[in-house]
Structure 1
Amino acid sequence: MTSKTSESGTGTQSTIVQLRNLPDLTEISHLEIDAPVVEILKKTVLFQLNSLNICISNFALDELVNLVTVQMDGMFRNLHNLTLLQRRSQASQADLKLLLREFNLDAPSLYQQFQASEFIKSKHSTEYEKLMSWSSLAALPHNEEDEEDELNNIEEQQNEINVLLPPSNPLEKQIPSWLPNFPPDHTYKFTPEFNHPITDLKTIKKEIVKESQESEKALLNLNKSL
């Protein structure tokens, strides 16, 4: 790791950090995970079609499964983005409401489809049990020890990153040992230009007048376009 400090014409100094080596990265193959999941999804779609007495070719089934995959992936991505915007680690009820509104869905229609699915499961219990047994066989084993090992690996990688690129926050040394450290610089940056509010009354009045004029201009343009 190399670092270079340069001084600009404004008198401020900027530090450029170049990483020569990174922590060991482990590539995870998704072939063993994606293939069973896609097969389960295909069997689930086929189970729904058979309950409706709909015949379909293999090519059409593959295209339909791809369409379902794209739709579900888009919904999960949007839900993940909504959760990140709210600075949450898990989706909340408000995030789900926003997601349903974005896709023009409502809770009563979803509950109606849920009741229809429950009726299909009770009517075709044998096929449903086969599908559930297939899902349980394809599921990966999970235990608390593996989860704890993953958390330890993440913490070790974070420590290695902090060694290569230590946080530049000057308050880092004042944090007690029983409190968590600041996140690394690649996850956030301070914006001191937003930490100086305007206190001059003349400047505030000028900004208010300017914003009102821009709003009036925007409304006039909107009326002309209607």
Structure 2
Amino acid sequence: MKIKWFGHSCFLITAGNGVRVLTDPFDETVGYKVPKVAADIVSTSHEHFDHSYTQAVQGDFFHVNKVGAFSHKGIEMVGVATFHDEENGAQRGKNTIYKFIVDRMHICHCGDLGHVLTSEQIKDIGHVDILLLPVGGSYNGPTIGPDQAVEVARLLNPSVIIPMHFNTDVIKFPLAGVESFFKKMGGGQYIGKQEVEFDKKSLLGLSASVMAFEYA
């Protein structure tokens, strides 16, 4: 399985058999190059413009934007209801966390999570191997920053954490940089790659290993 980061909260997850999952595509106002790629499955955690620009996706795809359990082309997925803020959605609305099972690995994409997870939400998400986690805080409203991101990471206890939704040279929102999350996690590294290949064996022995990807 390969994971490729296009910037912000947008990743392309490609299974060993070629099935492609695209998460939270964004439009041109975000600052990154808009990922105009083909996908078999597209997930959108909420309807804000920087997480739901499905117009950029090429070809026919299965759109996942609801809570519940789904399956498409051999990819099992579950959507867990959360919020974009700490006030049960009163400020920024709802957010859906999606977990995908790809090549026997459990990949959890947190979208614009705005609060620390409850015990029930943790139970609904279940086991996590790779966690795609917002760490940069908020612009024009609450999204978890470094402190809460560390707490969420420890609650879900993944093998690998891939930070997302943080400040870079091109993004047009005032977010914290990933270095703050590194410091609070007690470590982390820029891996200098946009895409990384994982298999179940490569995750053995890893515990909350933080890998910051490069964007296109």
Name the TM-score class by shorter chain: under 0.3
Instruction: Give the TM-score normalised by structure 1.
Output: 0.19
Instruction: Give the TM-score normalised by structure 2.
Output: 0.20
Structure ranking higher on relative contact order (CA contacts 8 Å, 6+ apart)? 2
Larger radius of gyration: 1
Higher percent of residues as helix: 1
Higher percent of residues as strand: 2
